[in-house]
Amino acid sequence: MNQTISIIIPVYNEEATLSPLHESLTSTLTTTSYDYEIIFVDDGSWDASFKRLEQLAQQDSHVKAIQFTRNYGQTTAIAAGIDHAKGDIVIFMDADLQNDPTDIPAMLAKLEEGYDVVSGWRADRQDTWLTRTLPSQLANGLISKVTGVHLHDYGCTLKAYRREVLTGYKLYGEMHRFLPAYAASVGARIVEMPVKHHPRRYGQSKYGLERILKVMLDLLTVKFLHKYGQKPLYLFGSVGAALIFLSILTVLYLILDKMVQGTYMITSPLLLLSVMLFIIGVQSIFIGLIGELLVRTYHESQDKATYTIRRHLNLHKQ
Ligand code: UDP
Ligand code: MG
């Protein structure tokens, strides 16, 4: 049986590009040997986007559409697309024609070679340098360093995934861009591929510079969850232990000072410091223990596995 591709496209006020995008996707996808579906997720558009989608869905049964009740954001739109996708391969792209469907066959070829993720890289990016390309380059450098997954372009939507490496990951905030890092954390083989990029010719970009701060905060969450998501006590407990150790050192110094110089402890600000370090240290350990309770509630209340399986043989449980 042919493998199926699900193309997932978030749409927010992109009425002008939907028909040309559908046309160019169709002419590319029909040349491949895959079955395909195109899932448009209308993220609360107030222009004629959904009307266009209704027309497209009527003409072409490959087209599927979801309409949100309000604007939830690109990440949530992508998450809804994943939830409804039937494909063995999932490909994300923007609706604004900045990504080019003709890159898809080369991406599929990479997946056939055995990679699990093909990450598009806008090597020749067509956006304003100062407000777009530069911040994005800095962010990519930082994300690569922090996650240890070195990609040039986390922000490029055009990426292809084998479905297995996407399951079990819920998306919040601006987190769709961290999907490659998540996939890597469950053992996916990732390859980067330069893709075409066009200037935005219709409509407007939906983002400003405030996105940078959100992405940085998300990065913190991703790093924390990846490293300590299953063992929060390792982080909070170590910090707590370090603080208590410092507090003990401070007290020892005060005792020594008292014995040698006869200084009254109460006259030194260090006494207050050591008490504070001690209290914060103990609290940090307790916060870690509450974290441990939360992890257990999270995994056990939903029967969530703490691992991801690539394949299994002669086992019936899916
Ligand atoms: N988008 C969305 N919801 C939003 C903002 C954007 O679904 O709240 C979609 C938008 O229609 C486009 C994609 O996300 O298909 C990328 O948005 P945009 O082109 O504005 O981002 P940029 O390319 O400027 O980074
Ligand atoms: Mg764009």
CATH code assigned at 48? 3.90.550.10
In ligand 1, the atom with minimum distance to the C-alpha of 155 is: 25
**Number of structural domains in the chain:** 2
Percent of the chain clearing pLDDT 90 (strictly above): 78
* Number of CB atoms found within 10 A of residue 62's CB: 18
Which protein residue has the closest C-alpha to ligand 1 atom 22?
205
**Ligand 1 close to Cβ of residue 14 (< 6 A):** yes
Residue 57 CA to ligand 2 center (angstroms) comes to: 23
Same domain for 133 and 274? no
What is the whole-number distance in angstroms between the Cα of residue 196 and the centre of ligand 1?
17
CA distance linking residue 228 with residue 28, whole number of Å: 43
What is the rounded distance in angstroms from the CA atom of residue 91 to the CA atom of residue 98? Answer: 15
Residue 94 CB–ligand 1 contact under 6 Å: yes
Q: Is residue 182 located within the same domain as residue 41?
A: yes
Q: Is the same domain home to 26 and 60?
A: yes
Give residues with Cβ within 8 angstroms of 216, minimum separation 6: 139, 142
- Among 27-31, 123-127, 222-226, the range with the most confident prediction by mean pLDDT is 27-31
* Spacing, Cα 94 to ligand 1 middle (Å): 7
Taking residues 97-108, what's their average pLDDT?
96
222 domain residue, yes or no: no
- What pLDDT is stored for residue 200 in this prediction? 92
Residue 108, in any domain of the structure: yes
pLDDT (average), residues 231-250: 98
The reply to whether 155 falls in a domain is yes
Ligand that lies nearest to the alpha carbon of residue 95, given by its number in the listed order:
1
Same domain, 258 and 159: no
Q: What confidence tens digit (pLDDT) does each residue in 38-53 have?
A: 999 999 999 999 999 9
Domain that holds residue 254: 228-301
Q: How big is the chain by its Cα radius of gyration, in Å?
A: 25
Picking from 91, 105, 86, the residue whose alpha carbon sits closest to that of residue 157 is 91
* Cα–Cα distance for residue pair 165/89, rounded to 1 Å: 10
Alpha-carbon span 172 to 156, nearest angstrom = 18
Q: Could you give the CA distance from residue 20 to residue 98 in angstroms, rounded to a whole number? A: 12
In a domain, residue 180? The reply is: yes
Instruction: Look at residue 218 and tell me if it is in a domain.
Output: no
- Report pLDDT for 220: 94
Residues 266-285 have a mean pLDDT of 96
**Same domain? 132 vs 10:** yes
Are 205 and 248 members of one domain?
Answer: no
Instruction: Flag whether pLDDT at 20 surpasses 60.
Output: yes
Is residue 275 a part of any domain in this protein?
Answer: yes
What is the spatial distance between Cα 71 and Cα 61, in angstroms, rounded to a whole number? Answer: 26
* Cα 200 to averaged position of ligand 2 atoms, centre (Å): 6
98 and 233 co-located in one domain: no
Q: Mean pLDDT, the chain, as a whole number?
A: 93
Non-local (6+) Cβ contacts of 233 within 8 A are 285, 288, 289, 291, 292
pLDDT at 36 over 60: yes
CA atoms of 279 and 273, how far apart (whole Å): 10
Q: Do 269 and 145 belong to one domain?
A: no
Q: Does 16 lie in the same domain as 74?
A: yes
Q: pLDDT tens digits for 287-313?
A: 999 999 999 998 888 887 777 777 778
**Based on the domain organization, do 234 and 196 belong to the same domain?**
no
Q: Tell me the best of 21, 39, 68, 74 to mutate to test the pocket of ligand 1, counting ligand atoms within 8 Å of each CB and taking the most.
A: 74
CA angle 124, 159, 185 (to 5 degrees): 120
Whether the pLDDT of residue 316 is over 80: the answer is no
**pLDDT score for 317:** 58
The verdict on residue 111 lying in a domain is yes
* Same domain flag for 238 and 191: no
Is residue 163 very low, low, confident or very high in pLDDT (cuts 50, 70, 90)?
A: very high
Tell me: do 177 and 131 sit in the same domain. Answer: yes
Q: How many angstroms does the Cα of residue 310 sit away from the middle of ligand 2?
A: 33
